[in-house]
Amino acid sequence: MSLLEVSGLGISFGGLRAVDGVGFTARPGEVTSIIGPNGAGKTTLFNLVSGVYIADAGAVRIAGREVTGLPPHRLARAGMARTFQNLRVFPQMTALENVMTGCHMAERAGLLAGLFGLPGSRAETARSREAAAAALTRTGLGALAGREAAALSYGQLKRLEIARALVTGCSILLLDEPAAGCNAVETREIDDLIHAIAGEGRTVVLIEHDMRLVMRISARILVLDQGRRIAEGAPEEIRENPRVIEAYLGAHGAAEARAAHA
Amino acid sequence: MTLGPGTRTFLVFAALVVLGALVFPSSFFYRVGTLVWINTLAVTGMVVLLGYVGLVSLGHAGFFAIGAYATALLPQYGVPSGLAMLAGAAGAALLAALIGRPILKLSGYYLAIATLGLGMLIWMVLSKEAWLTGGPDGMTVTGFSARNLLKSVGITLKTAEAWYWLCGAVATLGAVLAVNLGQSSAGRAFRAIHDSDVAAASLGVDVARAKSAAFVISAVYAAVAGALLALANGYITPDAGGFMHSVELVTMAVLGGAASVYGALVGALILTALPQVLTVFAEYEHMVLGAIMVGTMIAMRRGLVPALAGLLARRRAARRAGRLARRVS
């Protein structure tokens, strides 16, 4: 049974149909990947699913409940969390505080309790601090907890965003190019991390350019080109699909690849 | 033992209040000191709005004036001054809540202009409705004496000293509350919005509600500061709600460093006390002030306090590195 169901989603920017009638489903405990050439509409699709953009067609359902058009903070409460392709960390906060912000939904103390520093508010902050520290350790950033986020490397910030999304307690996690700018060792670590996250029964949707990573950890793959879905299936099906090869290499390149293979 | 940020703020502010009282030679100094604490309180509200959330308001003097005029007007109808002050704060909060929702959707200079309009509107009402407010000449404020209040608890001080202690205490309280807020769930949400409202929303933060809350809190700070000024001075004019005063509040926050209450204090101190010192230079006063502001913004864009704190941290790190190098060699 799929937890996240997306059907017929579309949006136009000016005259350009950036995403056109795209649908997919994602199941708990699995990694569903979205691939496609640059400009295929992958990140736009993420922005539609997570409520940053308002779709002009289609629907999004979480566990059968229609959530189309809900603002991002309501979707977060419905169990959706995400990371961003062009990093959206909080640079003026420490790494730990960044992740603590992910605990916002679990925090119940009101504004006045915060102003007067009441024991309930303090205890809650202490709990969030522990949860955040655990998430940092899990993503390999434990030693950097007190460091200002602005001082972290690109690869570390990518993982910081994952830690921040994880502590929300999300059931659906959208990861936008988590391995971009990472070296081979870091990519391997991200691979293991994503595997473990899915292993907890969370629904992971992944946008990634590193094909080896995608082929290794995905249960299903959705391929986009120019805003449209051109293929969907298991990794081995996608690898052999002529339309996919064509989209990536062009018609001419695909013919050459076939010739080289033969 | 390490002290919590709230406790540390309390100790620093309380120590400075006491220090002022120890070194001030005359009532004149106490009066300037009182002004510094009142401005610090108002600027602390700007720290919450501008420093934490990153919203610019050019109309906060309007809320300041609402607090001041409520404290001036209501006692004429038999309301005790303390209650009038609370009513002013509540009125400012209500107006901020009502007007906040629609205008906080705006960002950057659109928001600045919208709040500017709000401030102008309040200033205009105070200037034109002379039957109620006395118009541009202002009105006298009576009905409360800090000296009598302190006398009732057994402390006998001169009037100027009594106001200094009272305003210093309220400013200290205000700073502690703001620091507590910064360390709380709401404060983290505020600072997250400052850096990326999209990311904050993706974590479940209701951005519109959080902005509105910060706007209301900062309006209450301004209103309480306005009430204290009205009472301490014994009179109030519409200029307290004027555009120049709004600009002053933002300038103090930015000069000192909008992200911290210590910045609020330093900004308020410099822009309140320096003009008094510079009166010696008469016509050059505004030039010197302007030069200081331009210089600070060029050399230390984050404000004086964060820049100096960064400098200290770097020197300490360099010394540590030096010691380490000597031990290795």
Average pLDDT over residues B108-127: 92
> What local confidence, expressed as pLDDT, does residue B315 receive?
85
Closest partner residue to A90 among B6, B195, B259, by Cβ? B195
Residue of chain B nearest A74, judged by CA positions: B204
> What local confidence, expressed as pLDDT, does residue B2 receive?
66
Residue of chain B nearest A81, judged by CA positions: B202
Of the given ranges (A80-84, A88-92, B45-49, B145-149), which has the lowest mean pLDDT?
A: B145-149
Closest partner residue to B184 among A72, A82, A121, by Cβ? A121
Cβ neighbours of residue B204 closer than 8 Å, sequence gap 6 or more = A73, A76, A77, A104, A105, A168
> What local confidence, expressed as pLDDT, does residue B278 receive?
78
Residue B312 in domain: no
CATH number of the domain encompassing residue B161: 1.10.3470
Q: With CA atoms as reference, report the closest residue to B68 among B195, B245, B299, B300.
A: B245
Q: What is the distance between the alpha carbons of residues B322 and B329, in angstroms, rounded to a whole number?
A: 11
Residue B172 in domain: yes
Between A and B, how many residue pairs show a Cβ–Cβ distance under 8 A?
109
Average pLDDT over residues B216-243: 96
Residue of chain B nearest A162, judged by CA positions: B203
Residue B53 in domain: yes
Phi-psi region of A181 (alpha: psi -120 to 50; beta: other; left: phi over 0): left
Which of A69-78, A237-246, B152-161 tops mean pLDDT?
A69-78
Could you give the number of structural domains in chain B?
1
What integer best gives the mean pLDDT of chain B?
92
**Residue B161 belongs to what domain range?**
5-282
Q: What is the distance between the alpha carbons of residues A191 and A178, in angstroms, rounded to a whole number?
A: 9
Position B290 pLDDT exceeds 90: no
Asked if A93 reaches chain B (Cβ–Cβ under 8 Å), the answer is yes
> What local confidence, expressed as pLDDT, does residue A233 receive?
95
Residue B276's pLDDT band (boundaries 50, 70, 90)? confident
Q: What is the distance between the alpha carbons of residues A76 and A74, in angstroms, rounded to a whole number?
A: 5
Q: What is the distance between the alpha carbons of residues B98 and B69, in angstroms, rounded to a whole number?
A: 20
Cβ neighbours of residue A159 closer than 8 Å, sequence gap 6 or more = A139, A140, A141, A178, A190, A193
Residue B108's pLDDT band (boundaries 50, 70, 90)? confident
Cβ neighbours of residue B58 closer than 8 Å, sequence gap 6 or more = B112, B113, B115, B116, B119, B243, B246, B247, B250
CB contact under 8 A, B202 and A50: yes
b/e for A71-98, b at 16 or more Cβ within 10 A?
ebbebbebbbbbbbbebbbbbbbbbbbb
CB atoms within 10 A of CB B278: 16
Residue B329 in domain: no
Domains parsed from chain A with CATH numbers: 4-84+203-261 (3.40.50.300)
- A47, A82, A88, A96, best to mutate vs chain B, most B CBs in 10 Å: A88
- Chain B residue numbers with beta carbons less than 8 Å from the beta carbon of A115 are 177, 180-181, 184, 217
Of the given ranges (A9-18, A58-67, A171-180, B108-117), which has the lowest mean pLDDT?
A: B108-117
Residue of chain A nearest B187, judged by CA positions: A114
Which token pair is A172?
């659906």
- pLDDT tens for residues B192-223? 999 999 999 999 999 999 999 999 999 999 99
Asked if A54 reaches chain B (Cβ–Cβ under 8 Å), the answer is no
Which token pair is B297?
């913004």
Average pLDDT over residues A172-189: 91
Q: What is the distance between the alpha carbons of residues B169 and B251, in angstroms, rounded to a whole number?
A: 24
Segments in chain B forming alpha helices (H): 5-23, 27-46, 60-73, 81-103, 108-128, 130-133, 146-152, 159-182, 185-195, 197-202, 207-233, 243-256, 261-278, 285-299, 304-328
Q: How far is CA B299 from CA A64, A102, B51, B285, B304, in A?
A: 56, 35, 19, 21, 9
Asked if A76 reaches chain B (Cβ–Cβ under 8 Å), the answer is yes
> What local confidence, expressed as pLDDT, does residue B233 receive?
94
> What local confidence, expressed as pLDDT, does residue A262 receive?
61
Pairing of strands A220-225, A31-35: parallel
Average pLDDT over residues A206-222: 93
- Chain B residue numbers with beta carbons less than 8 Å from the beta carbon of A176 are none
Kind plus residue range of the DSSP H or E element containing A194: helix A184-199
Cα separation of the two ends of chain A: 40
Q: Could you tell me what percent of chain B has a pLDDT over 90?
A: 69
Residue B287 in domain: no
Residue A230's pLDDT band (boundaries 50, 70, 90)? very high
> What local confidence, expressed as pLDDT, does residue B224 receive?
98
Residue B271 in domain: yes
Dump the DSSP string for B272-316: HHHHHHHGGGGGGHHHHHHHHHHHHHHH-TT-HHHHHHHHHHHHH
How close is the nearest chain A Cα to the Cα of B141, in Å? Answer: 30
Asked if A128 reaches chain B (Cβ–Cβ under 8 Å), the answer is yes
Q: What is the distance between the alpha carbons of residues A31 and A194, in angstroms, rounded to a whole number?
A: 8
Position A124 pLDDT exceeds 60: yes
Kind plus residue range of the DSSP H or E element containing A246: helix A242-261
Q: How far is CA A186 from CA A156, A254, B95, B324, in A?
A: 9, 31, 52, 31
Of the given ranges (A88-102, B12-26, B88-102, B276-290), which has the lowest mean pLDDT?
A: B276-290
CB contact under 8 A, A104 and B204: yes
A30 strand-pairing partners: none
> What local confidence, expressed as pLDDT, does residue A261 receive?
66
CB contact under 8 A, A92 and B189: no
Judged on CB neighbours under 10 Å (0-12, 13-18, 19+), B283 is exposed
Of the given ranges (A152-166, B226-240, B243-257, B269-283), which has the lowest mean pLDDT?
A: B269-283
Average pLDDT over residues B295-319: 85
Residue B41 in domain: yes
What integer best gives the mean pLDDT of chain A?
93
Asked if A120 reaches chain B (Cβ–Cβ under 8 Å), the answer is no
Kind plus residue range of the DSSP H or E element containing A141: none
Asked if A116 reaches chain B (Cβ–Cβ under 8 Å), the answer is yes
| DSSP, res B49 | I
Residue appearing with tokens 């009598």: B148
CB contact under 8 A, A88 and B199: yes
Residue B15 in domain: yes
Asked if A121 reaches chain B (Cβ–Cβ under 8 Å), the answer is yes
b/e for A220-229, b at 16 or more Cβ within 10 A?
bbbbbbbbbb
> What local confidence, expressed as pLDDT, does residue A3 receive?
96
Which token pair is A260?
């080289």
> What local confidence, expressed as pLDDT, does residue A250 receive?
75
Task: Name the CA radius of gyration of chain A, rounded.
Answer: 20
Return the higher-pLDDT residue of A250 and B11: B11
> What local confidence, expressed as pLDDT, does residue B11 receive?
97
Asked if A50 reaches chain B (Cβ–Cβ under 8 Å), the answer is yes
- Chain B residue numbers with beta carbons less than 8 Å from the beta carbon of A72 are 198, 201-202
